[in-house]
Chains A and B, each alone.
Chain A
């Protein structure tokens, strides 16, 4: 048997009804294996931010979660327009979301900052015109 659980999800673009379902599935697994509530919450917040980013900005994408006994590695990969200036995108409050999206309560410019804040490791790789891949590692306290 493998040493970890691998999960894959398709995240649909512009679908605000299903947005968050990948996060909810991962949360359910972590809770089931007794991961501390604070850690589940950190995963929930950072992964949800990533998932909603793909819904809003990138016409969806693919999410994976690799759950180990002591950590979870989440990737969120899309083939959207890419992030031109990652440093600027990391600034709290900076957003390129449209007014329509903002009127739904999204696009506050806290997505990437929150991912960095709540995950232990946050790697953002992006090429304009090709897509973005976010890798989030969250370690579980004993």
Chain B
């Protein structure tokens, strides 16, 4: 799993890394170390949130995604644009320019992820009404939040929404359409145009599904750059969009929760705020809330690091766009699938939730705590770990030699 994460989240360009501690100090899960003058990621701890990519002053973090050329390996190419993608374009007054442009770029079909988002919303409403999941129900749409919960809030797994994320619902439906046209799995290539690296990892690792429905994950910015010149040539786009305000709203924080049609909802964005809310749920102080939407990025998906535009600008543009849309453009009846079509095919807590051996873990905690007491507790970062506690963990877990000494103490 660690190797899959390394390949599909973020890697480092050592030639650009200056060994500053910006990323190390700001990583929300303390997954970065700076040793021998370069930063490195501990992938077991990484949740793919992209915070280090956003913060690196030297642009030394490389996000992983598939290059647009990969679509050419497939005979029937399907594009799945995320709702946040439309917010990247200046002066866009009709999303059909984007959809038509994608076709001219070489895709045979375009299926808006906003459609999957609307179907997710409708399936979620059924779950909320059925009272089968303990409240508050926590959305699983943001993959970095899911990784965070599985790593640090295993307590809350029974609160996780078991509905497939919008991109998987869209991919599933688009794939079925292609089958009807006579194409086989080998011929069909389904590509998500993603705002973030966390989605790259989630889709490649197959969160919630038995086998990934998506063949590749493209970056919002790369597709944007290729699409702009193509879109300029379109006089009258084909009317392809089948999405409402509900689906479009998923692009920014609060959209998914508001669509759940419940008044007792909460939406938090930005990874520190997300952690704070999860702590509160654990402490039992949010029992009056029915639905919680959490987004690792500030502003929601518009804040993803694979986007080109500032999240607040993108959000403002989307607000302009929504004027043209109906409230909702999809219905479960139109699609005609049974309810479980929209549900996760595997238990949402299947990966990640590991319980350590108690005796070993207790000894580890005691060792860490004993050592921690001997340190200055200044969290200076000189040793290459983000905090004194992380230094102790590295030592006890064998990531650094047993005889490593705190540089502050070494000074004498």
Given contacts A5-B365, A40-B155, contact A34 B357 (CB under 8 A): yes
Decide if B157 touches A69 in the complex (CB within 8 Å). Answer: no
Which residues in A have their C-beta under 8 angstroms from that of B367?
A: 1
- Chain A residues 1-22 with CB under 8 Å of chain B are 1-2, 4-5, 7, 20
**B283 contacts the other chain (CB 8 A):** yes
Task: Say how far A6's CB is from chain B's closest CB, in angstroms.
Answer: 8
Q: Which residue of B lies closest to A28 (CB)?
A: B152
Q: Which residue of A lies closest to B358 (CB)?
A: A34
Decide if B362 touches A69 in the complex (CB within 8 Å). Answer: yes
**B229 contacts the other chain (CB 8 A):** no
Decide if B283 touches A44 in the complex (CB within 8 Å). Answer: yes
**A24 contacts the other chain (CB 8 A):** yes
Task: Say how far B366's CB is from chain A's closest CB, in angstroms.
Answer: 6
Q: With A and B bound together, what is the CA distance between A5 and B356 in angstroms?
A: 18
Q: With A and B bound together, what is the CA distance between A53 and B55 in angstroms?
A: 38
Which residues in A have their C-beta under 8 angstroms from that of B282?
A: 27, 40-41, 44
**B285 contacts the other chain (CB 8 A):** yes
Q: With A and B bound together, what is the CA distance between A7 and B389 in angstroms?
A: 13
Partner of B283, one of A29, A35, A48: A48
Which residues in B have their C-beta under 8 angstroms from that of A67?
A: 365
Convert B158-178 into 0s and 1s, putting 1 for each residue whose CB lies closer than 8 angstroms to a CB of A. Answer: 000000000000000000000
**B15 contacts the other chain (CB 8 A):** no
**B355 contacts the other chain (CB 8 A):** yes
Convert B343-359 into 0s and 1s, putting 1 for each residue whose CB lies closer than 8 angstroms to a CB of A. Answer: 00000000000011111
Given contacts A41-B284, A48-B285, contact A1 B152 (CB under 8 A): no
Decide if A23 touches B356 in the complex (CB within 8 Å). Answer: no
Best-buried of A34, A41, A48 by chain B (most CB within 10 Å): A34
Best-buried of A20, A28, A44 by chain B (most CB within 10 Å): A44
Which residues in B have their C-beta under 8 angstroms from that of A29?
A: 365, 369
Q: With A and B bound together, what is the CA distance between A7 and B365 in angstroms?
A: 12
Task: Say how far B284's CB is from chain A's closest CB, in angstroms.
Answer: 4
Convert A29-45 into 0s and 1s, putting 1 for each residue whose CB lies closer than 8 angstroms to a CB of B. Answer: 10111111110110011
Which residues in A have their C-beta under 8 angstroms from that of B356?
A: 32-34
How many A residues face the partner with a CB closer than 8 A?
30
Task: Say how far B155's CB is from chain A's closest CB, in angstroms.
Answer: 4
Decide if B358 touches A69 in the complex (CB within 8 Å). Answer: yes
Q: With A and B bound together, what is the CA distance between A29 and B392 in angstroms?
A: 13
Partner of A31, one of B154, B157, B357, B370: B154
Decide if A44 touches B284 in the complex (CB within 8 Å). Answer: yes
Q: With A and B bound together, what is the CA distance between A44 and B284 in angstroms?
A: 8
Best-buried of A27, A38, A140 by chain B (most CB within 10 Å): A27
Given contacts A5-B369, A20-B279, contact A33 B361 (CB under 8 A): yes
Which residues in B have their C-beta under 8 angstroms from that of A35?
A: 358
Task: Say how far B271's CB is from chain A's closest CB, in angstroms.
Answer: 15
Which residues in B have their C-beta under 8 angstroms from that of A28?
A: 152
Decide if A34 touches B284 in the complex (CB within 8 Å). Answer: no
- Chain B residues 75-121 with CB under 8 Å of chain A are none
Decide if B283 touches A23 in the complex (CB within 8 Å). Answer: yes
Decide if B152 touches A5 in the complex (CB within 8 Å). Answer: no
Which residues in A have their C-beta under 8 angstroms from that of B285?
A: 48, 105
Task: Say how far A68's CB is from chain B's closest CB, in angstroms.
Answer: 8
Best-buried of B152, B358, B362, B364 by chain A (most CB within 10 Å): B362
Q: With A and B bound together, what is the CA distance between A17 and B152 in angstroms?
A: 21
- Chain A residues 34-93 with CB under 8 Å of chain B are 34-38, 40-41, 44-45, 48, 67, 69
Q: With A and B bound together, what is the CA distance between A140 and B365 in angstroms?
A: 16
Partner of A48, one of B284, B365, B369: B284
Q: Which residue of B lies closest to A34 (CB)?
A: B356
Q: With A and B bound together, what is the CA distance between A48 and B282 in angstroms?
A: 10
- Chain A residues 128-142 with CB under 8 Å of chain B are 140, 142
Decide if B362 touches A33 in the complex (CB within 8 Å). Answer: yes
Which residues in A have their C-beta under 8 angstroms from that of B357?
A: 34
**A residues near B, CB below 8 A?**
1-2, 4-5, 7, 20, 23-24, 27-29, 31-38, 40-41, 44-45, 48, 67, 69, 105, 114, 140, 142
When A and B form their complex, which 5 residue pairs have the shortest distance between CB atoms, in order from nearest? A33-B361, A37-B155, A48-B283, A34-B356, A45-B284
| 30 contacting pairs across A/B (C-beta < 8 A) | A1-B366, A1-B367, A1-B370, A5-B365, A5-B369, A7-B369, A20-B279, A24-B279, A27-B279, A29-B365, A31-B152, A31-B154, A31-B155, A32-B364, A33-B364, A33-B365, A34-B361, A37-B155, A37-B157, A38-B155, A40-B155, A40-B282, A41-B155, A44-B155, A44-B283, A44-B284, A45-B284, A48-B284, A69-B358, A69-B359
Additional pairs, 11, CB under 8 Å, beyond known A31-B152, A32-B365, A41-B284 = A2-B370, A23-B283, A27-B282, A29-B365, A32-B356, A33-B361, A34-B357, A34-B361, A36-B355, A37-B155, A48-B284
